[in-house]
């Protein structure tokens, strides 16, 4: 049992200080006692010398010459004198022992002070970082409030501005972007401070504090060893030859000899033994980013155009700090190997080769090892931050840098809302041939619109390059190129048709990057898409090649397009050149274009959808009634707000990705998604009855039991189909079901759905519908189709209660507590007994005891059949 594992707590540290003070007081007591013994022995020696001298004053007359008794007496007196001299010598040696004890006491005081300072030093760093984390969090909250205020002000001014332009709007936008930059930088500082604090705290518990305590234990035991030696010397100089003193001395030797330094602190350690210190938990406060749409993720560095320069500079600073630590370690190792440490403060006895100093070679090496450990910890801590920043920078992608501000508002929205004239836009774009890629697209008939209200063009990531015009002979050679063994499909364009980019089958519009990655599966698969970031529209080539790489199409000063090779007059020609030449897009990436991935049949054009009227509002944007131009079919359209970050857009499209593969009369049908331009839209069949919840409440007086049971059967049929497809809905409720004019129910709103047999929530339980969610999902984050069965039971209750709120009058937490204790809602009025019994089965605490949807459907269908026959 040692100090390093048993004495890490604050109480144990304070007890150790108290113990050292007690030992110092004991030393002072011993020193005074030995000084008194030396004084007594000196006085006794003087008295014994006087006795001997007195005894030698005998008559030296010749009368006694040869007398044996006189000779014996003289010899006896001489021995007494020798004994007096021995007592005097012993007293002088006891004074030397007192000096040694004095020096030992001084060294022990220094050792105690050094231990306290070292302990305070390593604890101060941890306390400093703890305060730093709190300070960074406070800064975070301050910038967050400023950001929210400026963001609200920006949105208000943007909506009020009729032309989305003007000096006031520019000022508001600039202030908003500055606040956004401050927020993101503060976010990164907060993340780094937490990461550093975690490493420092871990090293404090596992390396620095144990190392200090281990060193202190070695020092303490060294003192005990020296202390024992001093006591042995004091005892040695009190040893007498008489039998009775031999017995006393034997007992003293036995007691003193029983002192064992390694066992000295056994009882003390056992008495103050504590468990290792509890780790301090440094966690990112997720409430800071709870209301912020965007890319700020807890404990994750944000890399974007606002923070990348700061991160790179921080990386250089940290790498320099790591090198400094490494250099200091090398110097320390060279010093240790190059010569023996100097023992400072050693105590040399007069005329003796024995040193009572505690700074022995072993102690010096122990101290140097402790310092080396501290440097290694610092290096590891800084290296952790270096690795974290490098990893974040590496994850940006091949060429494309994310935007740090969620100000994605462009005139594409104005184009839809205000009906901009395409011909006017086209003439504007052709008036200046060097405006960049978006002007080129509009010149060729594209639908993308630029924001010009601020009186300046979009910023461009361009590489100046002399233009290389396409001559007639080159165009002829280009037209003669034949596709390779793989079919190029829509890449076989005609240069004379001047077809706009958005008509190419391999152009996927503003499809989010995450969705693009799903389409590119084999090396050489590629497509072209558009991304809009901070008033800048960029065309991006996405390629599957040793992962997924994204290349921004660069524009030259003359309005041509290129990667690293020659420029071309159009993006189509640039892509055709890369495909036919089989040259890498960039030398660094090595990516070669082999097979274009064309738009899927359910990727519709935004222009094919005419929005008619707003009929609702969803989590991501408004819901419209619309009409398809091609078929004149009335449809429902969910729109995604353009200001949402890519992560939210990805979640928005998840519903479309799930629905596209399902075909069932009780599942709302997907017609397609529109990603050619903003806003992104999901087009679904129009269910005229609207939300089931609203329908139940509006028609509560006219619903029959037969109709309610039919609704339950429809919902069970749809859920049975989903269960067969291993799809967990996770948000089954009346509000997320639709009903047509014939009371047929369709399952809708798949935004939380997962296509898995079992899904474990890993990102927290935010926005979870508590009153509709099964206990095992709430308590353990574990979802299966049997969790949907629980929710189906709540849906049945909603249907038979005609739209009442479950667990009425209870908060979410209160309802959760009651459910865990076995509470179940009572049956709604006029509910058939068999249907309520089915509800209770759906609400079984043990998930495995609940019926599956196939069984539920059969039960409800049989009850309806029996009801029909009875009439």
Catalytic pick from 407, 731, 749, 788?
731
Q: Identify any residues that bridge with 738 across adjacent strands, giving them in sequence order.
A: 691, 746
- Residue 829 known to bind ligand: no
* Residues ≥6 apart with Cβ < 8 Å to 244: none
Which ranges constitute the DSSP H helices of 725-784?
775-780
- Residue 621 known to bind ligand: yes
- Residue 638 known to bind ligand: yes
Residue 147: other Cβ atoms inside 10 A: 20
Ramachandran category for residue 63: left, alpha or beta (phi over 0 → left; psi -120 to 50 → alpha): alpha
Q: Which letter, b or e, does each residue of 104-113 get, where b requires 16 or more Cβ atoms within 10 Å of its Cβ?
A: bbebbeebbe
Residue with tokens 């890519």: 646
Q: Are 657 and 515 in contact (CB under 8 A)?
A: yes
Both structure tokens of 356: 């009572």
* Residues ≥6 apart with Cβ < 8 Å to 738: 668, 687, 689, 690, 691, 692, 745, 746, 748
Residue 95 φ/ψ, nearest 5 degrees = -65, -40
Rg of the chain taking only CA atoms, in angstroms: 44
User: Which one-letter DSSP state was computed for residue 627?
Assistant: E
Which ranges constitute the DSSP H helices of 660-757?
692-698, 705-724
Question: Cα–Cα distances in Å, from 610 out to 507, 601, 607, 626, 689?
Answer: 22, 19, 7, 5, 21
Q: Are 783 and 761 in contact (CB under 8 A)?
A: yes
Measured in whole angstroms, the distance separating CA 248 from the mean position of its chain's CA atoms is: 70
- Residue 809 known to bind ligand: no
Question: Cα–Cα distances in Å, from 693 out to 229, 659, 689, 737, 773?
Answer: 90, 22, 10, 8, 17
Q: Identify any residues that bridge with 638 across adjacent strands, giving them in sequence order.
A: 623, 682
Q: Identify any residues that bridge with 684 across adjacent strands, giving them in sequence order.
A: 636, 670
- Residue 146 known to bind ligand: no
Question: Cα–Cα distances in Å, from 86 out to 82, 83, 232, 238, 370?
Answer: 6, 5, 18, 10, 48
Instruction: Name the percent of the chain in helix, strand, coil, to the closest 5.
Output: 55, 10, 35
State the Cα–Cα distance between residues 4 and 194, nearest whole angstrom. Answer: 26
Report the relative pairing of strands 782-783 and 634-639 from DSSP bridges.
Answer: unpaired
User: Which one-letter DSSP state was computed for residue 586?
Assistant: S
Q: Identify any residues that bridge with 809 across adjacent strands, giving them in sequence order.
A: none
* Residues ≥6 apart with Cβ < 8 Å to 565: 577, 578, 581, 583
Q: Are 8 and 209 in contact (CB under 8 A)?
A: yes
- Residue 617 known to bind ligand: yes
- Residue 622 known to bind ligand: yes
Residue 731 a catalytic site member: yes
- Residue 623 known to bind ligand: yes
State the Cα–Cα distance between residues 636 and 689, nearest whole angstrom. Answer: 12
- Residue 618 known to bind ligand: yes
- Residue 382 known to bind ligand: no
Q: Identify any residues that bridge with 355 across adjacent strands, giving them in sequence order.
A: 348
Q: Active-site positions?
A: 731
Binding residues, as ranges, are 615-623, 638
Binding residues for ATP, as ranges, are 615-623, 638
């Amino acid at each position: 049992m040692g100090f390093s594992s048993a004495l890490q707590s604050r109480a144990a540290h304070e007890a150790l200080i108290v113990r050292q003070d007690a030992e110092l007081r004991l030393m002072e007591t011993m020193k005074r006692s030995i000084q008194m013994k030396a004084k007594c022995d000196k006085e006794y020696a003087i008295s014994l010398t006087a006795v001997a001298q007195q005894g030698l004053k005998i008559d030296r007359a010749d009368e006694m010459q040869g007398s044996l008794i006189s000779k014996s007496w003289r010899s006896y007196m001489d021995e007494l004198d020798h004994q007096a001299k021995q007592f005097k010598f012993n007293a002088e040696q006891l004074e030397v022992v007192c000096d040694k004890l004095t020096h030992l006491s001084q060294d022990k005081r220094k050792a105690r002070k050094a231990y306290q300072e070292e302990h305070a030093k390593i604890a101060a760093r941890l306390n400093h970082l703890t305060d730093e984390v709190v300070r960074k969090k406070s800064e975070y909250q301050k910038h967050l409030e400023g950001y929210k205020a400026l963001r609200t002000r920006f949105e208000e001014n943007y909506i009020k501005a009729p032309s989305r332009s003007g000096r006031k709007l520019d000022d508001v936008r600039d202030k908003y972007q500055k606040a956004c930059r401050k927020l993101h930088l503060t976010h990164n500082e907060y993340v780094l401070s937490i990461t550093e604090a975690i490493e420092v705290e871990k090293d404090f518990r596992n390396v620095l504090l144990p190392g200090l305590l281990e060193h202190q234990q070695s020092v303490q035991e060294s003192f005990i060893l020296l202390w024992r030696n001093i006591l042995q010397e004091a005892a040695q100089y009190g040893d007498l030859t008489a039998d009775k003193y031999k017995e006393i001395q034997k007992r003293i030797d036995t007691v003193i000899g029983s002192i064992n330094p390694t066992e000295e602190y056994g009882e003390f350690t056992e008495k103050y033994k504590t468990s290792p210190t509890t780790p301090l938990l440094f966690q990112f406060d997720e409430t800071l980013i709870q209301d912020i749409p965007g890319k700020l993720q807890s404990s994750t560095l944000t890399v974007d155009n606002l923070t990348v320069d700061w991160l790179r500079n921080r990386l250089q600073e940290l790498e320099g700090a790591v090198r400094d630590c490494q250099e200091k370690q090398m110097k320390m190792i060279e010093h240790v190997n190059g010569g023996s440490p100097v023992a400072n403060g050693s105590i040399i006895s007069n005329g003796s080769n024995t040193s009572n100093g505690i700074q022995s070679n072993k102690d010096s090496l122990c101290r140097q090892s402790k310092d080396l450990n501290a440097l290694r910890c610092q290096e590891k801590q800084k290296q952790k931050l270096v690795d974290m920043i490098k990893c974040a920078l590496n994850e940006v992608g091949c060429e494309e840098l994310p935007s740090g501000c969620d100000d994605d508002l462009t005139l594409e929205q104005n184009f839809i809302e205000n009906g901009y004239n395409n011909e006017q836009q086209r003439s504007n774009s052709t008036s200046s041939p060097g405006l960049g890629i978006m002007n080129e697209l509009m010149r060729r008939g594209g639908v993308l619109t630029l924001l010009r209200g601020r009186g300046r063009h979009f910023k461009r990531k361009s590489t100046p390059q002399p233009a290389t015009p396409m001559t007639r002979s080159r165009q002829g050679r280009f037209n003669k190129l034949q596709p390779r063994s793989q079919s190029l499909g829509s890449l076989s364009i005609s240069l004379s048709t001047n077809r706009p980019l958005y008509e190419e089958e391999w152009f996927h519009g503003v499809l989010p990057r995450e969705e693009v990655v799903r389409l590119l599966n084999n090396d050489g698969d590629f497509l072209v898409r558009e991304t809009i970031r901070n008033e800048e529209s960029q065309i991006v080539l996405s390629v599957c090649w040793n992962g997924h790489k994204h290349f921004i199409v660069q524009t030259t000063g003359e309005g041509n397009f290129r990667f690293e090779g020659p420029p071309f007059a159009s993006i189509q020609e640039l892509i055709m050149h890369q495909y036919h030449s089989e040259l890498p897009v960039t030398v660094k990436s090595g990516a070669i274009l082999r097979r274009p991935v064309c738009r899927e049949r359910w990727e519709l054009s935004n222009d094919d959808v005419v929005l008619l009227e707003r009929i609702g509002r969803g989590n991501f944007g408004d819901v419209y009634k619309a009409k398809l131009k091609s078929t004149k079919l009335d449809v429902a359209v969910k729109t995604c707000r353009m200001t949402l970050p890519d992560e939210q857009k990805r979640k928005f499209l998840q519903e479309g990705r799930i629905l596209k593969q399902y075909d069932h009369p009780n599942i709302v049908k997907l017609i397609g998604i529109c990603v050619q331009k903003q806003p992104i839209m999901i087009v679904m069949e129009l269910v005229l009855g609207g939300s089931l919840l609203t329908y139940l409440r509006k028609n509560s007086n006219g619903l029959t039991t037969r109709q309610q049971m039919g609704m339950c059967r429809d919902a069970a049929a749809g859920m049975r189909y989903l269960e067969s497809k291993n799809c967990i809905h996770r948000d089954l409720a009346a509000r997320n079901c639709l009903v047509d004019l014939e009371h047929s129910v369709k399952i809708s709103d798949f935004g939380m759905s997962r296509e898995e047999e079992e899904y474990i929530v890993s990102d927290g339980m935010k926005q979870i519908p508590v009153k509709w969610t099964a206990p095992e999902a709430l308590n353990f984050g574990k979802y299966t189709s049997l969790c949907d069965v629980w929710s189906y039971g709540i849906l049945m209750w909603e249907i038979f209660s005609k739209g009442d709120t479950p667990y009425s009058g209870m908060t979410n937490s209160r309802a959760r507590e009651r459910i865990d204790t076995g509470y179940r809602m009572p049956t709604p009025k006029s509910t058939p007994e068999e249907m309520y019994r089915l509800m209770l089965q759906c609400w079984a605490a043990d998930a495995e005891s609940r019926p599956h949807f196939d069984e539920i459907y059969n039960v409800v269908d049989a009850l309806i059949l029996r009801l029909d026959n009875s009439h």
